[in-house]
Amino acid sequence: GQNIDQPTEMTATEGAIVQINCTYQTSGFNGLFWYQQHAGEAPTFLSYNVLDGLEEKGRFSSFLSRSKGYSYLLLKELQMKDSASYLCAVMDSNYQLIWGAGTKLIIKP
């Protein structure tokens, strides 16, 4: 079967760095996405990785290792507004998105 695993909840301190991991097992691979979702709102796109390595975009970076079926989202200089759920999703061989359950990130002052 297809499976996406990520931690349910994480807590970090304002100004610090946090890494949210995602492991996946899917039938085929056409890219991995990270989305941010604030409570009561729709998900918004953060990043896309299809090749191995690190993609940096401001305070956010995303890493992919296809051989390990592993990705992480790195958030630097955390701000209170970063408190949200972070969803990992993999596009399979049918170009369907398989969604993880999301990681709820709590930022403390």
Partner 1 sequence: SAVISQKPSRDICQRGTSLTIQCQVDSQVTMMFWYRQQPGQSLTLIATANQGSEATYESGFVIDKFPISRPNLTFSTLTVSNMSPEDSSIYLCSVVSGREGISSYNEQFFGPGTRLTVL
As a whole number of angstroms, the distance between CA 109 and CA 84 comes to 15
Encoding tokens for residue 86?
């972070």
As a whole number of angstroms, the distance between CA 49 and CA 80 comes to 26
What track of x and - describes contact with partner 1 for positions 61 through 90 (by CB under 8 A)? --------------------------x-x-
Task: State which of positions 7-66 bind partner 1 (CB under 8 A).
Answer: 31, 33, 40-45, 48, 50-51
Element (H, E) at 36: strand 32-37
- Rank residues 44 and 65 by Cβ distance to partner 1 and give the closer one: 44
Residues that bind partner 1 (CB under 8 A): 31, 33, 40-45, 48, 50-51, 87, 89, 91, 95-97, 99-102
